[in-house]
Amino acid sequence: MESQRNISEFILLGLSYDPNMQLFCFVLFSFCYVSLLVGNLLILVSILCSSLFHQPMYYFLSHLSSVDICYTSSVTPKLIGDLLVETKSISYGNCMLQVFTLHFFGGIEVFILTAMAFDRYVAICKPLHYMIIMNRTRCNLLVLAAWAGGAVHSFPQLFMAILLPFCGPNEIDHYFCDIFPLLKVACTDTYITGVLVVANSGMVALVTFFVLFVSYVIILFTLRNHSAEGRRKALSTCGSHMTVVVLFFGPSIFAYLRPPTTFPEDKVFALFYTIIAPMFNPLIYTLRNTEMKNAMRKVWCQAYFQRKPTINFKKTIS
């Protein structure tokens, strides 16, 4: 690989050149990242320490929260640190690692969201067979398939990035390393590589979004036969899922399902699927979910009272 490149690092141009804007972004994204970590950890611990972990929907949600933390942590800490320095450099090895982790955990998130949609489809459309279909073995297989799907998606991205030759320009007009910005600074014809990226990332995003959209249309069609209370509860849950899907897949499809080029708007859209959507996941899945709120209240209140010191008064009889 060394013969194909004569650079050891890349320079990230970041979000803005304005120092005041960089300071504002530092405060904003630091708050977003801390909120994301706290929110997803609250969900993860609350599910693991309650009976909700044995329910398929919350089992998948616990995995989604852990993947959200890993996915955003592959990009956001570097972004926050770079906002405080003038030269935003990243080594070649760390750049390739960022390409891999971003697509690996992003792919896992896509497939876990698909598994959650399948869970809701079975719960609403086949309620009598729900516990048989969504048994723990099948849930484990779906999660394993999500991790395998993330690997199958990310390794080709990594190999395409590693095989790119770099012989001069090393400034990447982005705040993280991704395949399209790397194609722009590669010193070779990247048309075929760009088509392969669109066929991989773009089609994965589009096909998955289409599958999710069709599944929710079927769910909404099936809800006509439910009671008003059943429709309200199902629509609340599915509405939460659809909000997450739109926040994540909308910008992703814009970023990857198009001719292999870069636009200034890419950085703004990338913020949605790398920071904003994972940050809002805890709010979306808890504020409209009574079971989740009750579990969090029970787990954390119980933990508080167990740690609170108690004073025992003993009556002595002389």
Taken in order of first residue, the domains within the chain and their CATH numbers are 9-296 (1.20.1070.10)
Average pLDDT score over the chain? 83
38-47, 159-168, 297-306: least confident range: 297-306
Question: Most distant CA pair in the chain: distance in Å?
Answer: 96
Residue 288 pLDDT class (50, 70, 90 cuts): low
pTM for the model stands at 0.86
Give the pLDDT score at 171: 87
Closest CA to 206 of 271, 159, 255, 264: 255
Residue 142 pLDDT class (50, 70, 90 cuts): very high
Residue 106 exposed, middle or buried by CB count within 10 Å (0-12, 13-18, 19+): buried
Helices (H), the chain: 19-48, 56-73, 76-82, 92-125, 130-133, 136-162, 179-185, 191-197, 203-222, 228-256, 266-271, 277-287, 290-307
pLDDT greater at residue 306 or residue 19: 19
Give the pLDDT score at 306: 62
What would the mean pLDDT of 217-239 be, rounded to a whole number?
73
What would the mean pLDDT of 168-181 be, rounded to a whole number?
86
Give the pLDDT score at 1: 40
In the chain, the amino acid numbered 55 is Q
Give the pLDDT score at 314: 46
What would the mean pLDDT of 266-294 be, rounded to a whole number?
80
Mind giving me the DSSP string for 148-199?
HHHHHHHHHHHHHHHT--B-S--EESSSS--HHHHHHH-SS--HHHHHHHII
Give the pLDDT score at 279: 86
What would the mean pLDDT of 72-85 be, rounded to a whole number?
92
pLDDT greater at residue 226 or residue 105: 105
Tokens 């990594």 correspond to what residue? 158
Which percentage of the chain shows pLDDT scores above 70? 87
Contact 71, 274 (CB under 8 A): yes
Give the pLDDT score at 75: 92
Sheet of 89-91, strands arranged across: 89-91, 9-12, 171-172
Mind giving me the DSSP string for 221-233?
HHGGGS-HHHHHH
